[in-house]
Chains A and B, each alone.
Chain A
Amino acid sequence: MTITPETAAVLADTSPTLNQKEPEAPFRHVEESLRPSPQDPHYKGFTFGTAAVTIMSPMERIWALLKDPKSQALVLGPRVSLKDLGASRFNWTLTTKRRQISVETELFQLEIPDQPQMDGSRRALMLWENLALSSTELEIKLQLRPSTHAGAVVAEALVAYRYSFGRMAARLATLQGADPVAECRMALKRLRMLAETGEIAISHPQPEGTAAKYEVA
């Protein structure tokens, strides 16, 4: 058996850099401020969930969409209606097959001045908190941050909610498809669609065969 020069060169190569890659930019985790913890006064009895999407759009555009009531209505989708009560207060109504869940929230915008900047862009947090008399306690924290992928922004949300009838009611609501976390996840996907493409993908109403249940104008 003979060894070809190419094979011999590979066998002789003792370079320490073989298969070593350049170190990548550090992965950035969800901010501590978004994480639930036992020290949180609202921890007990709350159901927590997270959702995140990567959006190929400038942070300023996403931020502008989030603050625009018309865009908010598109992002929330057909099952959630949003009524602007003024002074950053909103009434959200989630319509499910069996019932409607209504909650009033107040929107805060929090600057995070001390966080290190990856690309010099402004970092901020949006916070929706329920008003005192709502039947559902709800808090949604939404943060935008630069992605490790060039030109991309990560929108990540932490949803915490507690129904006045306790955890069992929360489980029941989840089974009925009235889960605020799932709705938040869908809303973030619609936000990505709107920011990237300028429209929300829809396939209905459209023509169908004899099973069609609606009229197309």
Chain B
Amino acid sequence: MRAVCWHGKHDVRVDNVPDPRLLNPRDAIIQVTSTAICGSDLHLYDAVIPGLQKGDILGHEFMGRVVEVGPQSNLRLGARVVVPFTISCGQCFFCQGLQFSACENSNPVENQEVSEKMFGKPLSGYFGYSHLTGGYSGGQAEYVRVPFSDVGPVEVPDGVSDEEVLFLSDILPTGWMAAENASIQAGDVVAVWGCGPVGLFAVQSALLMGAAEVIAIDHHPHRLTLAAGLGASTINFDEGDVLEAVADLTGGLGADAVIDAVGMEAHGFVVDNALDHAKQKFLPAMDRAHALRMAIMAVRKGGRVSVPGVYGGFADKFPLGAIMEKGLQLTSAQTHVQAYIRPLLKKVLAREIDTTFLISHRLPLDQAPRAYKNFRDNQNEWTKVVLKP
């Protein structure tokens, strides 16, 4: 089969590789019909996430048809399914508490040592996201093996297009959970850093949850236009002081809740970000937390900070004092997709949420190297890429 493989920094290729096969009783094999490049895939493309090996198959946003099942899978052959990016057993202490992305049993024991040393506890298994998260092959391929297929994949009806439900695999639940973690109350003003796909879905979710106003912050005009189309006020951080602008829009109080949908590769031209760039280039596992720092400064006293943006290691100049002195609540997590995917599918089917507005490019799988390059370098125009194997 053909698959998008990582070969080094800014080097992805479409290789011919052996087909996957069932390895465990609860496995299934999915023939991928649509897959997307996620903003967090760019962290792999930029080689700032450790634990990748040459030849690893990328991709954690995908859907397709079930073509093979293990004896303990409950999937129906031929069923059309969306697959969560988190691999979860459904039975461990964390899965039973609906914290699926903290699953204890999905990352093979042999792959747990590094993340256990880095974070104190091992990470769970994710598709196509380095050997820190299990070394599982990803879904930017013609076929993919899905472990614990009785827990993750959700069947979708034939009357709905791939593009309407594909993002249930990651970015829609991630944006939704980011807004939920911000504990939005009616009348709140919510500021969202980053108008990438997760940021845009966070904007949409915050408005659905009753926010009186959502402020979207980015520097790509087209992405800001998409946010404005959802009903957000916008701030272009190239055109002025963001903290002052947020203060003005909130009557000097600060935002009730802030959402950092940027993560470890924040851009900006302030001194702290320039230093972060230098450190990330030479030191492993260093995060550029410029957006998060600004969000913490912009939130009101007693406010909430929600972090769906991916961070992989350590951040310098982190304003811990502001969290304590302002009495902030900070919440973050890899998305517990399995907890959100069914309720969000209902909202998509009821046309309460539109997921297709952010797709800018639809390309065959063979165009993946070009798609990665442009998704990274031309972010204004390339807002979301869907690949067709």
Contact = CB atoms under 8 A, between A and B. Distances in A.
A52 to B, nearest CB: 13
A216 interface: yes
Main secondary structure of the interface of A (DSSP, over half): loop
Interface stretch (A2-10, A28-36, A40-48, A202-210): A202-210
Contacts of A190: 109
A203 B136 contact: yes
- Minimum-distance CB pairs A-B, first 8: A209-B5, A211-B55, A209-B55, A216-B18, A208-B55, A207-B17, A209-B15, A211-B54
Nearest to A75: B109
A125 B3 CA distance: 49
Contact of B93 (A149, A193, A205): A149
A197 B20 contact: no
Contacts of B107: 201
Interface string B121-165: 000010000000011110001000101100000000000000000
Given A54-B93, A190-B109, A192-B105, A209 B26 contact: no
Interface in A155-192: 186, 189-190, 192
Given A152-B93, A210-B15, A201 B25 contact: no
A204 B136 CA distance: 8
B108 A208 contact: no
A61 B154 CA distance: 30
Contacts of B137: 203, 206-208
Nearest to B87: A201
Contact of A56 (B1, B53, B92): B92
A206 B105 contact: no
B23 interface: yes
B378 interface: no
Main secondary structure of the interface of B (DSSP, over half): loop
A216 B24 contact: no
9 contacts: A54-B93, A77-B109, A189-B104, A189-B112, A208-B17, A209-B13, A209-B57, A210-B55, A211-B7
Q: Which of A149, A211, A216 gathers the greatest number of chain B CB atoms within 10 Å?
A: A211
Nearest to B96: A56
B109 A198 contact: no
Contacts of A25: none
B356 interface: no
A210 B4 CA distance: 11
Contacts of A215: 18
A54 B21 CA distance: 31
Given A77-B109, A203-B136, A212-B55, A197 B21 contact: no
A215 B92 CA distance: 33
B23 to A, nearest CB: 6
Q: Which of A192, A199, A200 gathers the greatest number of chain B CB atoms within 10 Å?
A: A199
A184 to B, nearest CB: 12
Interface residues on A, range: 20 to 34
A77 B109 CA distance: 9
Nearest to A54: B93
A217 interface: yes
Interface of A: 54, 56, 77, 149, 152, 186, 189-190, 192-193, 196-212, 215-217
Nearest to B141: A207
Interface string B47-76: 000000111110000000000000010000
B103 to A, nearest CB: 9
A95 B215 CA distance: 58
A77 B91 CA distance: 21
A196 B91 contact: yes
Given A201-B125, A203-B108, 18 more contacts: A56-B91, A77-B109, A196-B92, A197-B91, A197-B92, A199-B26, A202-B24, A203-B135, A203-B136, A203-B137, A206-B145, A207-B1, A208-B57, A208-B137, A209-B17, A211-B53, A212-B55, A216-B18
A193 B55 contact: no
Q: Which of B5, B104, B109 gathers the greatest number of chain A CB atoms within 10 Å?
A: B109
Contacts of B5: 208-210
Nearest to B134: A203
Nearest to A188: B109
Contacts of A201: 24, 89, 105-109, 125, 134, 147
B169 interface: no
A209 B20 contact: no
B338 interface: no
B307 to A, nearest CB: 27
Contacts of B1: 207
Nearest to A182: B113
B115 interface: no
Nearest to A151: B96
A27 to B, nearest CB: 16
Contacts of A54: 93
